């Protein structure tokens, strides 16, 4: 025992490989780091009070400075002074992607451009991109959110972080970079691609944390295995994922093959970038929302009316201290549910279930609703297939046809046609039992589905 009464032997050094997860699994959450304990563990009353104060100021800021919102609010007959409770947020107009697109590039900016210190954009598949700007204050808030979620995964200032996200206009690269630097980590800005070099860098620089999309992390894992790199003894111990949803099966596979702990975070360019919410080690299916910076609502995607707490719906976000581009009630189209009970990790900020589907990525196959995440869940539950897959939807003789291409593991591959056909039928049957619609299955040989260094594109809808 030391003079302070703390038994030093019981203190856990979370920078040791596997220690953070082992501590979490043993329920020793008080021994895990929390970046901003005063805020992240404050009472629900205090969180709501902070939110209300910021909401009132944010609506005033927005109304006074952005003509687009002033016009919308005037049309609806709502003034900033009408916002007196958190529930009053419902009086405000929704914002969707088109608002940002229609005002391209600077129409929604609330500060003069000489106050803007950074610009990002998300590439639109159609039309103009979505452009967002940040002033110094916005950059601070962003870094703060990233520092918090990094500590949730057990990242500490002594970590060496290899960034395998692309930099550029995409918010993921720089967003994570600044936040991890704020935490005190050493950044290794590798950028995406050149996979063998990524592994060489992990080895040369003693990288402890990898930032990547989950599909790219798996690719790095596979290439490393082929090169004979031993992930079990590697210095790498944490994966910070983002850029695309990470199904639980994929995460488990990466964790066991790379011997690392992986968490992922949620965010979107329109409201900030990555860092809106992050996964703690106490409940791997949920993510804590940075509630002092974001007011959340969950609404019925059809009607826009809030659903009861804890029920599934579309996430709507109002950033509470976003100065350069304020956004009110942004419709994310992401489906989730949010709970507010205290988490075992000690944090009190509300938790959202990880987003697996968007209201607009639902496929309608012969009248049945199918989400790509359902296909993903079935495939990751089958021994013998890899997490690499593709869904192709086409119209054949006036009928929808859905084909799932799934890549099999080398040990599943066989020269026997009968054996392969039996396996194919098994996959098709499992898919049908969950999707309730018949699916064509094609087995693809190991390595046959193209790997990507960024977001994987799983769905190809060829229908008109
Ligand atoms: Zn937690």
Q: pLDDT for 28-62, tens place per residue?
A: 999 999 999 999 999 999 999 999 999 999 999 99
Whether the predicted pLDDT of 145 surpasses 70: yes
Short-list 269, 322, 328, 292, CA closest to 111? 322
For ligand 1, the distance from its centroid to the CA atom of residue 154, given in whole angstroms, is 12
What integer pLDDT is reported at residue 11 of this predicted model? 73
For ligand 1, the distance from its centroid to the CA atom of residue 292, given in whole angstroms, is 16
* Contact by Cβ (8 Å): 429, 393: no
For ligand 1, the distance from its centroid to the CA atom of residue 344, given in whole angstroms, is 6
CA distance 241 to 221: 14
Q: Phi then psi for 46, rounded to 5 degrees?
A: -65, -40
| Mean pLDDT (the chain, rounded) | 93
* Contact by Cβ (8 Å): 349, 334: no
Percent of the chain at pLDDT above 90? Answer: 80
List pLDDT tens digits, range 59-106. Answer: 999 999 999 999 999 999 999 999 999 999 999 999 998 899 899 999
- Please state whether beta strands 294-299 and 313-319 pair in parallel, antiparallel, or not at all (unpaired): antiparallel
User: How far are the Cα atoms of 165, 195, 251, 461 from residue 457, in angstroms, in the given order?
Assistant: 16, 19, 18, 11
For ligand 1, the distance from its centroid to the CA atom of residue 280, given in whole angstroms, is 5
Whether the predicted pLDDT of 180 surpasses 80: yes
What integer pLDDT is reported at residue 361 of this predicted model? 80
For ligand 1, the distance from its centroid to the CA atom of residue 288, given in whole angstroms, is 7
For ligand 1, the distance from its centroid to the CA atom of residue 318, given in whole angstroms, is 22
For ligand 1, the distance from its centroid to the CA atom of residue 348, given in whole angstroms, is 8
Q: CB within 5 A of ion ligand 1: which residues?
A: 280, 282, 343, 345, 347
For ligand 1, the distance from its centroid to the CA atom of residue 278, given in whole angstroms, is 9
The owner of tokens 């009053």 is 88
- Please state whether beta strands 273-278 and 261-268 pair in parallel, antiparallel, or not at all (unpaired): antiparallel
Strand partners, 437: none
CA distance 198 to 203: 9
For ligand 1, the distance from its centroid to the CA atom of residue 270, given in whole angstroms, is 25
Instruction: Name which residue leads in pLDDT, 170 or 117.
Output: 117
Confidence of residue 207 (pLDDT cuts 50, 70, 90): very high
For ligand 1, the distance from its centroid to the CA atom of residue 245, given in whole angstroms, is 19
* Contact by Cβ (8 Å): 441, 408: no
For ligand 1, the distance from its centroid to the CA atom of residue 208, given in whole angstroms, is 23
For ligand 1, the distance from its centroid to the CA atom of residue 282, given in whole angstroms, is 5
List pLDDT tens digits, range 281-315. Answer: 999 999 999 999 999 999 999 899 999 999 999 99
For ligand 1, the distance from its centroid to the CA atom of residue 332, given in whole angstroms, is 23
Percent of the chain at pLDDT above 70? Answer: 97
For ligand 1, the distance from its centroid to the CA atom of residue 173, given in whole angstroms, is 25
Confidence of residue 16 (pLDDT cuts 50, 70, 90): very high
What integer pLDDT is reported at residue 10 of this predicted model? 62
For ligand 1, the distance from its centroid to the CA atom of residue 38, given in whole angstroms, is 15
Confidence of residue 5 (pLDDT cuts 50, 70, 90): very low
Confidence of residue 367 (pLDDT cuts 50, 70, 90): confident
Segment 187-196 mean pLDDT: 95
CA distance 297 to 318: 8
Helix and strand totals (H; E) in the chain: 12, 21
CA distance 132 to 115: 13
For ligand 1, the distance from its centroid to the CA atom of residue 277, given in whole angstroms, is 11
Whether the predicted pLDDT of 2 surpasses 50: no
For ligand 1, the distance from its centroid to the CA atom of residue 302, given in whole angstroms, is 31
For ligand 1, the distance from its centroid to the CA atom of residue 363, given in whole angstroms, is 33
For ligand 1, the distance from its centroid to the CA atom of residue 290, given in whole angstroms, is 12
Q: CB atoms < 10 A from the CB of 184, how many?
A: 12
Domains assigned to the chain: 9-358 (3.40.50.12780), 363-461 (3.30.300.30)
Report for 317-326, 357-366, 391-400, 452-461: range of highest mean pLDDT: 317-326
What integer pLDDT is reported at residue 131 of this predicted model? 94
For ligand 1, the distance from its centroid to the CA atom of residue 266, given in whole angstroms, is 15
What integer pLDDT is reported at residue 254 of this predicted model? 96
For ligand 1, the distance from its centroid to the CA atom of residue 152, given in whole angstroms, is 8
Segment 369-392 mean pLDDT: 89
User: What pTM was estimated for this model as a whole?
Assistant: 0.87
For ligand 1, the distance from its centroid to the CA atom of residue 408, given in whole angstroms, is 35
Determine which of 67-71, 215-219, 357-361, 392-396 has the lowest per-residue pLDDT on average: 357-361
User: How far are the Cα atoms of 18, 39, 315 from residue 331, in angstroms, in the given order?
Assistant: 38, 26, 7
């Amino acid at each position: 025992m030391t003079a302070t009464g703390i038994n030093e032997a019981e203190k856990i050094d979370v920078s040791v490989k596997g220690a953070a997860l082992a501590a979490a699994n043993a329920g020793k959450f008080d021994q895990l780091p929390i970046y901003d304990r005063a805020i992240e563990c404050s009472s629900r009353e205090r969180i709501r009070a902070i939110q209300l104060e910021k909401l009132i100021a944010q609506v005033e800021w927005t109304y006074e400075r952005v003509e687009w919102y002033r016009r919308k609010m005037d049309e609806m007959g709502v003034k900033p002074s009408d916002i007196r409770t958190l529930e009053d947020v419902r009086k405000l107009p929704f914002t969707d992607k088109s608002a940002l697109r229609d005002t391209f590039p600077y129409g929604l900016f609330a500060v003069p451009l000489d106050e803007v210190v950074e610009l990002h954009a998300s590439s639109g598949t159609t039309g103009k991109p979505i452009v967002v700007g940040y002033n110094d204050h916005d950059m601070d808030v962003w870094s703060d959110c990233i520092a918090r979620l990094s500590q949730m995964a057990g990242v500490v200032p002594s970590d060496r972080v290899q960034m395998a996200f692309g930099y550029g206009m995409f918010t993921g690269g720089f967003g994570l970079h600044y936040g991890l630097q704020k935490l005190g980590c050493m950044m290794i800005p590798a950028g995406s691609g050149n996979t063998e070099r990524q592994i060489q860098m992990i080895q040369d620089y003693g990288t402890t944390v990898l930032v990547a999309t989950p599909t790219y992390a798996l690719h790095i894992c596979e290439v490393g295995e082929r090169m004979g790199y031993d992930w079990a003894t590697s210095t790498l111990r944490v994966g910070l994922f983002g850029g695309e949803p990470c199904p639980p099966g994929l995460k488990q596979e990466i964790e066991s093959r790379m011997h690392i702990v992986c968490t992922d975070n949620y965010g979107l360019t329109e409201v900030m970038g990555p860092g809106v919410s992050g996964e703690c080690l106490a409940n791997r299916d949920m993510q804590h929302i940075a509630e002092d910076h974001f007011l959340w609502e969950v609404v019925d995607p059809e009607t826009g009316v809030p659903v009861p707490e804890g029920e599934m719906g579309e996430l709507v976000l109002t950033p509470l201290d976003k100065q350069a581009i304020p956004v009110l009630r942004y419709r994310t189209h992401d489906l989730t549910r949010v709970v507010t009970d205290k988490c075992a990790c000690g944090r009190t900020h509300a938790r959202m279930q990880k987003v697996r589907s968007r209201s607009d990525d639902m496929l309608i196959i012969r009248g049945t609703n199918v989400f790509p995440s359902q296909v993903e869940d079935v495939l990751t539950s089958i021994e013998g297939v890899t997490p690499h897959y593709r869904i192709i939807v086409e119209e054949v003789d006036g009928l929808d046809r859905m084909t799932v291409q799934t890549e099999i593991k080398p040990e599943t591959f066989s020269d026997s046609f009968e054996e392969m056909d039996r396996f194919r039928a098994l996959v098709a049957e499992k898919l049908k039992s969950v999707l309730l619609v018949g699916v064509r299955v094609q087995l693809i040989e190991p390595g046959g589905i193209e790997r990507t260094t960024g977001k994987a594109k799983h769905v190809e809808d060829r229908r008109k």
